[in-house]
Amino acid sequence: MEKTSIQYIKAAASKLRDSKLQRLGGKEIAAYLDGVASTLGLDCKGEALIFTALFDRSCAGRSSDLDDIAHYFGCPQLEVMEYVPSLKSLMEKGLVVQTDLSECRIGRQNFMVSNYVIGCVLENHKPECRQARILEKSFDKYDFCKLVDSMVQDSDVTAEALFQQVETMERDNQDMPMVKELVAVIRELPARALFYEVAYDFFTGDGHERSDLARTLRDIYESVGVRLSERKALLEGSHPLVKADLLELSGDKEDILLSLHGQRLFLGEDFGAFGKHYIGLDRYSFAREVKEFVHSKDHDTANPLAMKRLAEKMRLIEDSNSALSCVGKVREIVHEEDIRALFYIVCDACAEGEAGANVLGELGKLYPVKERNSNLKLFKEEAHKLQRLDLVEMVSMNGFLGEYTVLRLTDRGKELYFEEDASIFIEKICKKELIEASSIKEKRLFFSQREQEQLSMVENALLEENYRSLVERLDAKGLPHGIAILLYGAPGTGKTESVMQWARVSGRDIIHVDISAAKSMWYGESEKIVKGIFTRYRQACKRAAVKPILLFNEADAIFSKRRDMDGGRSIDQTENTIQNIILEEMERLDGILIATTNLAGNLDAAFERRFLFKIRFDRPSVEAKRKIWLDKLPWLGEQAAGRLAESYNFSGGEIDNIVRKATMMEVLDGTAPSVEAIDRLCAGEKIARNQQGAPRIGFR
């Protein structure tokens, strides 16, 4: 009766153990091996011989390398080497598997018979010819570097033996892309061994691990002199790997790591997927990734190559996200990688709702000290490229620890980077602050000849064509081209209404400053609010086709004389700080500022010098009042209008009050009030003061 597979294997094993591979030509052992081959579909006796040995050991739960197989047969390992082709054939058939896939040296590889095959043998079924591996795995660059590291860490392996083994491994894996590229670039074998060791530290640390320079050289070289020579070459930059831009040293010269170019050579097609990748970011996560890199230890400004590495990293992150249209737009107008990095950092601050990016902090993170200071100087002179492109502005802020300066996006910068989301971040003028020119109704005003001449001059200057010419002339002569106008005089004399009519005629909107809001009860808030007023005005100027008017009504409330600081009161300090801010802003004003006040005597002298026009509004003359009465109530007639003008020393605003009350009477009664009724309204317009016999209220 024909035997089963397991019977043939048992019989063959009894003859092969400790046989020293002798007497294999005998009929009995040959029959057993033929039986193993026929029941399992093997090609030759050599395959049956190796399979029997591995099956016997696998049933005991042991994997076997060539030395174990030789020990099984009781012969030298060299005798077993003859059967390596048979072993490989068994692996191709899926009858035997390699258990340590990261080992490339045949003498160190371990093998077992798969559980599937053992089951087939026990059931006397012929195994299907298939790969038993769940994962297809071949010896790769990671395995290569791991083997190099295992030899480096082996204290019994000398440097010479290490290099010989590395050379053998390179020859056996000469088609491996990493080996092929490195051998082509680096001729020195010890340098290549160092590269493999640093690459091992790199990928075992998920791309963040660095190799300690002193320890790595100590592990490779037993000779102190050679170590020092290698260290010197690395520190001086004359080492082949540094010259080829494959390795770099940390800023403190204590660590050695793969450069970006070295990472590309090592990782090859895995470069985009290994460790942290940057593919598929949106504009918000993109800006955050740039900031995180600049703030990380990977960007070491103490390293002489830091800026070169930054440029490489920026190109990598940007190239990985070329689908982002905002990134393409930025690259078109800003060619310098470091300036783009700074712009993205400011974008991240904006996206996070921060006041801005701290200028000293971010420049210090981005640049070495010398470059940081030169960039800071450019920002202070408003000559930095990001400022010239109107993408970023530098703004002073007040915080708990004092004043600090930030970089923040202009509206143009927000529109460039955030595109359709820009409206989320653009600060719009509050509706209650904005008076649109189109909403202002025409109103006739009556002034003396002196006043009219000055007012007409300002009105003509504010017409857009004339305004542009004026600014160009002033700029050509090196003079400040901001136009500041002070209107002062008694209440109701037409100061505010004059501004309204100038705005209507010139098509300029008015940004009306709420003085009470500018003077906050919270210490430090007032300064911030006042700075915010001018910041919003500058932004409005950039957005508008014609520059709007910044109007401070009743300006003496914050344009008043600076206080004596002898008392040391914090409120006095705050008032003076506000005035200093306004004075500085007026010096660099690029637009139109108009201030009105009833109390010109309260203005600080420093403000007076900064107003280009100073127009005094007097109470209207009798003739002017007569014209106002006739303009407002034409049915009065010349005689009645003249009498009212002579009898009552009203301002234009007070006459407006009478007209409003007369209109109410007409609406309620259905007919226009009589001249006598108008006269009675006039008599009650002013509050009687200090009249004989009138009761006094208050303290004397």
Express as a percent the part of the chain with pLDDT over 90: 38
What local confidence, expressed as pLDDT, does residue 278 receive? 77
Could you give the 3-state DSSP secondary structure of residue 428? Answer: coil
What local confidence, expressed as pLDDT, does residue 571 receive? 57
Is the pLDDT score of 338 beyond 50? yes
Range in 174-188, 214-228, 335-349, 685-699 with the lowest mean pLDDT: 685-699
User: Which phi-psi region, left, alpha or beta, contains residue 32 (left: φ > 0; alpha: ψ -120 to 50)?
Assistant: alpha
**Token pair of 571 as six digits:** 């409120």
DSSP string, 403-414: EEEEEEE-HHHH
Which CATH number does 434-617 carry? 3.40.50.300
Q: Mean of the pLDDT values across residues 5-23?
A: 89
91 exposure class (CB count in 10 Å sphere: 0-12, 13-18, 19+): middle
Neighbour order of strands in the sheet with 402-409? 357-358, 402-409, 392-399
Q: How many angstroms from the chain centroid is the CA of residue 425?
A: 15
Which CATH number does 5-122 carry? 1.10.10.10
Cα separation, 213 vs 313, whole angstroms: 24
**Token pair of 322 as six digits:** 């070329």
What local confidence, expressed as pLDDT, does residue 691 receive? 44
What local confidence, expressed as pLDDT, does residue 461 receive? 92
DSSP string, 129-174: S----SS-----HHHHHHHHHHHHH-TTS-HHHHHHHHHHHHHHTT
pLDDT digits (tens, 9 = 90+) for 303-336: 888 898 899 889 889 988 999 999 999 999 999 9
Query: What is the CATH T-level fold of the domain 283-425, as seen in this structure?
Result: Arc Repressor Mutant, subunit A (1.10.10)
Range in 18-22, 135-139, 567-571 with the lowest mean pLDDT: 567-571
* Segments making up each domain of the chain, as ranges: 5-122, 141-270, 283-425, 434-617, 622-683
Q: Mean of the pLDDT values across residues 45-58?
A: 92
Q: Mean of the pLDDT values across residues 615-637?
A: 86
Same fold, 5-122 and 283-425: yes
What local confidence, expressed as pLDDT, does residue 386 receive? 96
Comparing CA positions, the residue from 402, 305, 298, 414 lying closest to residue 358 is: 402
Is the pLDDT score of 224 beyond 80? yes
What local confidence, expressed as pLDDT, does residue 97 receive? 85
What local confidence, expressed as pLDDT, does residue 259 receive? 86
- 275 pLDDT tier (thresholds 50, 70, 90): low
Q: Cα dihedral sign for 70, 74, 76, 80?
A: negative
What local confidence, expressed as pLDDT, does residue 693 receive? 41
pLDDT digits (tens, 9 = 90+) for 120-155: 899 888 887 655 444 455 778 998 999 899 889 988
Express as a percent the part of the chain with pLDDT over 70: 89
More confident residue, 638 or 687: 638
What local confidence, expressed as pLDDT, does residue 66 receive? 92
Is the pLDDT score of 378 beyond 90? yes
Cα separation, 203 vs 446, whole angstroms: 84
What local confidence, expressed as pLDDT, does residue 396 receive? 74
How far, in Å, are 170, 200, 207, 299, 364 from residue 258 at the CA level? Answer: 20, 10, 9, 13, 25
- 183 pLDDT tier (thresholds 50, 70, 90): very high
What local confidence, expressed as pLDDT, does residue 502 receive? 94
What local confidence, expressed as pLDDT, does residue 117 receive? 87
Q: What angle do helix axes 359-366 and 369-380 make, rounded to 10 degrees?
A: 140
Q: Mean of the pLDDT values across residues 357-367?
A: 94
pLDDT digits (tens, 9 = 90+) for 426-440: 876 666 788 899 999
What local confidence, expressed as pLDDT, does residue 525 receive? 65
- 695 pLDDT tier (thresholds 50, 70, 90): very low
Is the pLDDT score of 528 beyond 50? yes
Whether residue 655 contacts residue 628, with contact meaning beta carbons closer than 8 Å, is answered with yes
**Range with top average pLDDT, 30-44, 431-445, 666-680:** 30-44
Which residues contact residue 594 at a Cβ distance below 8 angstroms, ignoring those fewer than 6 apart? Answer: 484, 485, 486, 487, 499, 549, 550, 551, 552
pLDDT digits (tens, 9 = 90+) for 592-612: 999 998 877 777 777 888 888
What local confidence, expressed as pLDDT, does residue 210 receive? 82
What local confidence, expressed as pLDDT, does residue 651 receive? 82
153 exposure class (CB count in 10 Å sphere: 0-12, 13-18, 19+): exposed
More confident residue, 503 or 668: 503
- What's the whole-number average pLDDT of the chain? 85
Is the pLDDT score of 295 beyond 90? yes
DSSP string, 107-129: TT--EEE-HHHHHHHHTT-PPPS
**Token pair of 573 as six digits:** 């300090």
What local confidence, expressed as pLDDT, does residue 272 receive? 67
Is the pLDDT score of 397 beyond 70? no
